[in-house]
Amino acid sequence: MDKIQINGGRKLYGEVSISGAKNAALPLIASAILVNGKTRFTNVPDLMDIKSIKLLLEDLGATCQSSQGVLEIDGAHIHKIEAEYDLVRKMRASILVLGPLVARFGHAKVSMPGGCAIGARPVNMHLSGLEALGAEITMDHGYIEAKASRLIGNEIYFDTPTVTGTENLMMAASLAKGTSVLRNAAREPEIVALADALNNMGARISGAGTAIITVEGVQNLSSSEIAVIPDRIETGTFMVAAAATGGDVLIKDCEPEHLGSIISKLKAAGAEILTYPDSIRVMGKDPIHSVDIKTVPYPGFPTDMQAQFMALMTIADGNSVIHESIFENRFIHANELLRLGADISISSGNLAMVRGVKKLQGAPVMASDLRASASLVIAGLVAEGTTVISRVYHMDRGYEFIEKNSHNWTPISFESKKIPDMR
Ligand code: EPZ
């Protein structure tokens, strides 16, 4: 898909079902490399990034069979330890095969993932962590090479919490000799989901979800069936869309527990939010109050929701300050929001001042990355007139047919009937 046309100025009403989380599925699929046999995943989202990592695993010799959200991977016949540039450049998260390959085969060659629109995206902490486990790391013509006859458990201290760094090293340590302790580890729900999956396969991991994760290495891991957790960022995106349009949306098959910071900020912005065991109802209210946010590691406000929340703040009743503390260049969407009539100024690269305006006007805009495209969709829904968003292939990387989801919504006219009380 390359363009989305949005006829804005309408409230969103209805129900939407959330798919499996992209950022949970990617490390889970990489973990199948650790198993000399089959691993079965359910609730796998249908996304470009999932197709990319499947292609990568097949290139290594794994077999991948998928249908209707179920993915079965057989790692028994992996015969190659090199993740090539052409495959890695399509998706930086390919770095997640590095730890599993060197842990199981004692050798891995992975193309340097390189940066992306939002930042340089270094992987130094991944590499220093593997060195701490005894791997010999060399760089050669754009490739990372890691060698170790067998990884040895050790203490690993992250300078800052890194999500895929924690995931890579948790997977590597699972097959190391002895115990490893990961300190200042990332605490995201996707980390907990990966630890649960690895423990299902026979690993011995404790502390996932806290800053200190202990991994007792084992000889091998075995086949297992794993369900991918709901996508908290997709959930948050639909929550912000409902609040921004003043609509009333029931978001189903999600995990409200993972959305504490987003619920808190949307309530401060004036939205009414009802939470149920596996769904959230969001009712947008006028006026939208301006709210300051700072993106920080989980359980704080997620950087992957910053662009979407900025779109909401463009029509708030005052000024809001948005501090992006995770990535160095994650305000690209601001320039496109200006084209829709927003009033935003960026200072010192990671602070944005958003002055609320009465309304946005539709215009042609261009997406630059996955979450920026979601921000422009939200702004287009709010804007009066037509907005055409180009380069929305970024959207395909992380959202299952967002426009289809909107068609799939059950248009409940809430004025006439309430959602059944599911308490
Ligand atoms: C994961 O990226 C997510 N991707 C990102 O989602 C998300 O924005 C990010 O975590 C932060 O929550 C996946 O899970 C596939 P980090 P990751 O390592 O792991 C610095 C999306 O839109 N750093 O937690 O690459 C880094 O530069 C994507 O779905 C180092 O300096 O992010 C950043 O400033 C975008 N050295 C900070 O740490 C390292 O070795 C956090 O990055 C690693 C990271």
Going across the sheet that includes 351-355, the strands are 293-295, 319-324, 351-355, 343-347
Q: Residues of the chain whose pLDDT is less than 50?
A: 406-423
| Dist. CA 336–CA 367, nearest whole Å | 8
Name which residue sits closest to atom 24 of ligand 1, judged by CA.
Answer: 162
Query: So what's the pLDDT on residue 399?
Result: 74
pLDDT digits (tens, 9 = 90+) for 73-119: 999 999 999 999 999 988 889 999 999 999 999 999 999 998 788 88
Q: How far is the CA of 203 from the centre of ligand 1 (A)?
A: 25
Mutating to test ligand 1, I would choose from 121, 191, 229 the residue with most ligand atoms within 8 A of its C-beta, which is 121
pLDDT score recorded for residue 324: 98
Look up the pTM and report it: 0.94
Of 184, 178, 175, 186, the C-alpha closest to 154 is 178
Peptide bond into 161 cis (omega under 30): no
- With a 6 A CB cut-off, is 115 part of the ligand 1 pocket? no
* Residue with CA closest to ligand 1 atom 42: 162
By annotation, the residues acting in catalysis are: 116
Beta strand pairing call for 351-355 and 343-347: antiparallel
Predicted pLDDT of residue 419: 35
The rounded Å distance from CA 162 to ligand 1 centre is 6
Closest atom of ligand 1 relative to the 164 alpha carbon: 19
Both tokens of residue 91? Answer: 């998706």
Which of 326, 327, 350 is the pocket-test mutation for ligand 1 (most atoms within 8 Å of CB)? 326
SS3 sequence, 45-82? CCCHHHHHHHHHHHHHCCEEEEECCEEEEECCCCCCCE
pLDDT of residue 348: 80
Question: What is the structure's pLDDT at 401?
Answer: 55
Q: How far apart are CA 250 and CA 304, in angstroms?
A: 21
DSSP classification of residue 94:
G
What does each C-alpha distance from 43 to 20, 51, 67, 124 come to in angstroms? 5, 15, 10, 32
Chain segment 160-171, per-residue pLDDT in tens: 999 999 999 999
- Residue located nearest, by CA, to atom 13 of ligand 1: 23
